Chain A
Amino acid sequence: MQQAVGARTIESRRTPWLMVLPALLLILAINIVPLVYSTVLAFFQWNLIQAATPPRFIGIDNFIRLITRDPQFISATLNTGIMVVATVAVQTVLGVAVALLLDQKLRFTGVATTLLLIPLALAPAVVGLLFSSLFNSTLGPVNYLLNAIGLPAPSWLGDAKWALASVIIVDTWQWTPFMILLTLAGLRSLNPEPIEAALVDGASAWQRFRYVKLPMLLPVLTVAMLLRAIDSFRTFDLVFLLTFGGPGTSSTTMSFYGFKVGLQNFDIGRASAIAFLMVQVFIIFVLLFYSRSKDQL
């Protein structure tokens, strides 16, 4: 009897593992193996142009070179940092502001909410081509409008001072609706009682938002900001389509630099080191973010 119970216990423990085993193997094959392989390659010098020459172990030279002797990598890291901070900050502020407006249940809010989906539904290639035309310095409507109201019209994509800002603007255009929709969903799921209590107590609209709604919204906002930060951190497509990292290297991000080193120069060792450093930066960022906001999650 005891043996039968024991066998059933082992069986019942084994079954869930068997059920998830295919998925685990798939994850191992698709995610873990390439990650480990890429990490190992980061310690080798290997150029695919000379594929016949075997990889040569060089220890941490790829990392030392990136950090101490590669100003383009440092510049790409700074650009990525600016990109993440700017996009998350601007999109969060705009997202919350517009969501509060849409939460007023005014006329056309349904239509407006539907229209907000359009940028999210567009392929990056379309967004890139669209904004290349809009930002054209002589024929683009953006500069036409700026000139019409007497404002200076910069060369958005052709000026090193504006290129990264242009990428941030386009990313904001495309992804602010994501923040709006998540915030709106959060606002509509809030418990109305504390808000009504604050109203009865004579709290102003700003006070109701700052001291009642915002604290209750933080869990939703934290997740939304984290998702946007992750996405912004690996920005590649908009840079590729709008500026190709230029003028000079003024809009080159870490992902784009990794692409250049790995897939244009075929320096697989150094590109793997870039990917490894990106993963480390990313893990540190997520851990910091999580430790600062774990009460909200």
Chain B
Amino acid sequence: MVRSRVLSAIAMALVLAACGTQTTSPGASGSAEASAPEIPTAPKQFQDLIDATQPADKQYDGATVTVVVDSIQSGYPFFWLAPAIKKAYGIDVKVVAAPFETYYQSIQNDIVSGTGAYDILSYPPRFLGDLASAGNIVDLTDYASQWDPEMNDVYPVYQLYTKFDGKLFALPMDGDRLELYFRKDLFENKDEQAAFQAKYGYPLAAPETWDQYLDVAEFFTRDTGADLAGEKLTEPFAGIAEITKLPDNFDWFLNRFASYGGVYFDDQMRPQLDTDAGRNALQNFVDAVKFGPADILNYEYVESFDAFLQGKTAMCIQWTDVAKVAEDPNTSKIIGKTGYAQVPGVEQADGSVLHRSVLAYNRVNSISKLADNPEAAYRVIQFMNQPSVSLLFVTEPLAGMDPYRLSHYADPSKWVQQWDRLPEYIANNKQSLTNGYPELTMPGANRYNDALGTHIAQALAGQESVEDALKNATTEWESITDELGRDGQIAHWQAQLQAWRDVGLIN
């Protein structure tokens, strides 16, 4: 009995240890320490870069810089390149992964409580306004004037994600946008094409509009035992995979909302959700999830990503790294079968289609106001942001980072991952940047997103009608604006809107 209790206690302790926040320091060789989570071996190009790295002009011997990331996976670039940073500056890099769903809470708690466990915060710019306006992150302007972060090579839309009130508070690390991926093999199947044409009266292709998206999704949704491209299904097959729950579901609404002509607020910051654009967008989203896998209402990044890569859906609206992983034999069952397209849009009066691809999430690196050695921390994020360094981690499939510099697309032969249709993928990437639609980065952005996402989830689950969901989200947005101070929020919004207009994101 005692023995069994001891064994239970040991088992529980191990499980608790495994479930806690994971902290690890990359070893000298770039591989993880024995107690650390298993980090995949870096591709050869990373080792070449480490070998070629020379000591920099200024050394920071003995300095340790701790980076907090939203998952072990997004910490891979820091793990892999830590030996190079050590060689260049004498800085040890420690990586801490906090849980994705409560990431915002983790970094806010660290600063607000005065703990200061993290020196570098790697986070989506939707938190930037809150962090910068509260003085919780360091203004990088002076450091940038000393050690150039080469921002001219960064796409203007991603430069916006690093600034607050015109000052530089972050350096970019990841260039996200959403795209439509589809099963090219199924879409090119002659029998499927004929059946689609017969049923809907137009040819089967990647959907251009949201209405076509529903048709294609419905067409491919099939039960176990049905035929799909000449093969009998052993499990249900779904039309789509999308993200339906917080913290990201609002971006999947915004793809639609923006293409129906919606903008978050008017010039005086009155919410524009409860409009035709909002109702059309949310209704389409509600209709679409009926053609998703049975548990689609529980889908965040991993579930949505996995459903497509495991060959369970015909289409998937996702971040651009999914297409890279789709060509990786270690993770994908659909190698060579992925087609690339813009997220669907809305047909305009002149017959053209307006596509809007939400520049969702991204990651930027900032320095906590509690950092022990902010200059050393800056040198780390500046090292990671260099064109030749960032090219490595935005072009390999495992880190989940995506191109954000003009130079990242300059020479596809230098990409770590190579596959036949890489040029086609890059062309689609560039097009979706042109169609980009920004996330809010002003103070309170996370609260606006959370309120909107909660009501979207309720509408998708059938707990609220489309109209009520948008009305309730509008009420909450007004309430958040009042709580944060209406005049100040209007000023922040107008500055945000102007910045978007300056780079052509909004008319």
Residues of chain A whose beta carbon lies under 8 Å from any beta carbon of chain B: 45, 47-52, 69, 71-72, 75, 114, 117, 121-123, 125-126, 136-138, 155-160, 243-244, 246-250, 260, 263-267
Contact of B297 among A49, A50, A160 (CB under 8 A): A160
**Contacting pair A123 B461 (CB below 8 A):** no
User: Chain B contacts of A155 at CB under 8 A?
Assistant: 294-295, 297
**Contacting pair A246 B298 (CB below 8 A):** yes
User: Chain B contacts of A52 at CB under 8 A?
Assistant: 134-135
Tell which of B133, B236, B483 has the most Cβ of chain A within 10 Å: B483
**Contacting pair B461 A243 (CB below 8 A):** no
What is the minimal beta-carbon distance from B68 to any residue of chain A, in angstroms?
16
**Contacting pair A247 B245 (CB below 8 A):** yes
**Contacting pair B4 A45 (CB below 8 A):** no
Contact of A264 among B11, B105, B295, B464 (CB under 8 A): B105
**Contacting pair A250 B484 (CB below 8 A):** no
Contact of A247 among B1, B108, B236, B297 (CB under 8 A): B297
- Give complex CA distance A257, B483 in Å: 19
Indicate whether B16 reaches chain A with its CB closer than 8 angstroms: yes
- Give complex CA distance A78, B15 in Å: 33
Indicate whether B293 reaches chain A with its CB closer than 8 angstroms: yes
User: Chain A contacts of B236 at CB under 8 A?
Assistant: 138
- Asked, given contacts A123-B16, A126-B15, whether A157 binds B461 with beta carbons under 8 Å apart, the answer is no
What is the minimal beta-carbon distance from A152 to any residue of chain B, in angstroms?
11
**Contacting pair B462 A244 (CB below 8 A):** no
- Asked, given contacts A50-B484, A264-B102, whether A248 binds B134 with beta carbons under 8 Å apart, the answer is no
User: Chain B contacts of A266 at CB under 8 A?
Assistant: 105, 108, 112
Main SS of the interface on chain A?
loop
User: Chain B contacts of A114 at CB under 8 A?
Assistant: 1, 4
Indicate whether B498 reaches chain A with its CB closer than 8 angstroms: no
Nearest B-chain residue to A140, judged by Cβ: B295
Contact of A121 among B12, B105, B464 (CB under 8 A): B12
- Give complex CA distance A246, B454 in Å: 9
User: Chain B contacts of A156 at CB under 8 A?
Assistant: 295
The 8 closest A-B pairs by CB, nearest first: A158-B295, A248-B461, A247-B297, A248-B458, A247-B461, A160-B461, A137-B294, A155-B294
User: Chain B contacts of A157 at CB under 8 A?
Assistant: 295, 298
What is the minimal beta-carbon distance from B66 to any residue of chain A, in angstroms?
22
Tell which of B8, B236, B297, B457 has the most Cβ of chain A within 10 Å: B297
**Contacting pair A250 B101 (CB below 8 A):** no
Nearest A-chain residue to B11, judged by Cβ: A121
**Contacting pair A248 B19 (CB below 8 A):** no
8 A Cβ contacts from B403-460 to A: 443-444, 446-447, 450, 454, 457-460
- Give complex CA distance A50, B447 in Å: 13
Contact of B447 among A71, A72, A121, A265 (CB under 8 A): A265
Q: How many A-B residue pairs have CB under 8 A?
A: 117
- Give complex CA distance A122, B245 in Å: 28
User: Chain B contacts of A121 at CB under 8 A?
Assistant: 8, 11-12
Indicate whether B235 reaches chain A with its CB closer than 8 angstroms: yes
Give 10 A-B pairs besides A121-B8, A138-B293, A159-B297 with Cβ atoms closer than 8 angstroms.
A47-B484, A49-B447, A50-B484, A51-B134, A125-B15, A125-B19, A155-B295, A158-B295, A160-B463, A265-B446
**Contacting pair A160 B16 (CB below 8 A):** no
- Give complex CA distance A163, B447 in Å: 25
User: Chain A contacts of B11 at CB under 8 A?
Assistant: 121
- Give complex CA distance A260, B459 in Å: 19
User: Chain A contacts of B102 at CB under 8 A?
Assistant: 263-264
Nearest A-chain residue to B99, judged by Cβ: A240
Nearest A-chain residue to B307, judged by Cβ: A138
What is the minimal beta-carbon distance from B348 to any residue of chain A, in angstroms?
33
**Contacting pair A248 B8 (CB below 8 A):** no
**Contacting pair A247 B298 (CB below 8 A):** yes
What is the minimal beta-carbon distance from B317 to any residue of chain A, in angstroms?
18
Indicate whether B275 reaches chain A with its CB closer than 8 angstroms: no
**Contacting pair A248 B112 (CB below 8 A):** no
What is the minimal beta-carbon distance from B507 to any residue of chain A, in angstroms?
31
- Give complex CA distance A95, B251 in Å: 46
- Give complex CA distance A126, B14 in Å: 11
Indicate whether B60 reaches chain A with its CB closer than 8 angstroms: no
Indicate whether B130 reaches chain A with its CB closer than 8 angstroms: yes
Tell which of A75, A156, A265 has the most Cβ of chain B within 10 Å: A265
What is the minimal beta-carbon distance from B276 to any residue of chain A, in angstroms?
24
8 A Cβ contacts from B280-315 to A: 293-299, 312
- Give complex CA distance A47, B130 in Å: 11
What is the minimal beta-carbon distance from B62 to any residue of chain A, in angstroms?
32
- Give complex CA distance A158, B296 in Å: 6
Indicate whether B104 reaches chain A with its CB closer than 8 angstroms: yes
**Contacting pair A158 B298 (CB below 8 A):** yes
25 contacts between A and B (CB under 8 A): A47-B484, A48-B112, A49-B443, A114-B4, A123-B16, A123-B19, A126-B15, A136-B295, A137-B295, A138-B235, A138-B236, A159-B297, A244-B245, A244-B246, A247-B244, A247-B298, A247-B457, A248-B297, A263-B102, A264-B102, A264-B104, A264-B105, A264-B450, A265-B446, A267-B483
Contact of A125 among B16, B235, B443, B454 (CB under 8 A): B16
Nearest A-chain residue to B462, judged by Cβ: A160
Contact bitstring B457-482, A, C-beta under 8 A = 1, else 0:
11111111000000010010000000
User: Chain B contacts of A243 at CB under 8 A?
Assistant: 298
- Give complex CA distance A22, B47 in Å: 59
User: Chain A contacts of B235 at CB under 8 A?
Assistant: 138
- Asked, given contacts A123-B19, A138-B312, whether A49 binds B294 with beta carbons under 8 Å apart, the answer is no
**Contacting pair B297 A158 (CB below 8 A):** yes
- Give complex CA distance A248, B102 in Å: 17
User: Chain B contacts of A45 at CB under 8 A?
Assistant: 483
Contact of B461 among A138, A246, A264 (CB under 8 A): A246
User: Chain A contacts of B461 at CB under 8 A?
Assistant: 160, 246-248, 250
- Give complex CA distance A48, B114 in Å: 12
**Contacting pair A244 B19 (CB below 8 A):** no
Contact of A48 among B108, B244, B443, B464 (CB under 8 A): B108
- Give complex CA distance A249, B464 in Å: 10
User: Chain B contacts of A51 at CB under 8 A?
Assistant: 112, 134
User: Chain A contacts of B12 at CB under 8 A?
Assistant: 121-123, 126
8 A Cβ contacts from B305-347 to A: 312
8 A Cβ contacts from B235-290 to A: 235-236, 244-246
User: Chain B contacts of A136 at CB under 8 A?
Assistant: 295
What is the minimal beta-carbon distance from A23 to any residue of chain B, in angstroms?
27
Nearest A-chain residue to B8, judged by Cβ: A121
**Contacting pair A244 B463 (CB below 8 A):** no
User: Chain A contacts of B135 at CB under 8 A?
Assistant: 52
What is the minimal beta-carbon distance from A209 to any residue of chain B, in angstroms?
30
User: Chain B contacts of A160 at CB under 8 A?
Assistant: 297, 461-463
Nearest B-chain residue to A154, judged by Cβ: B294
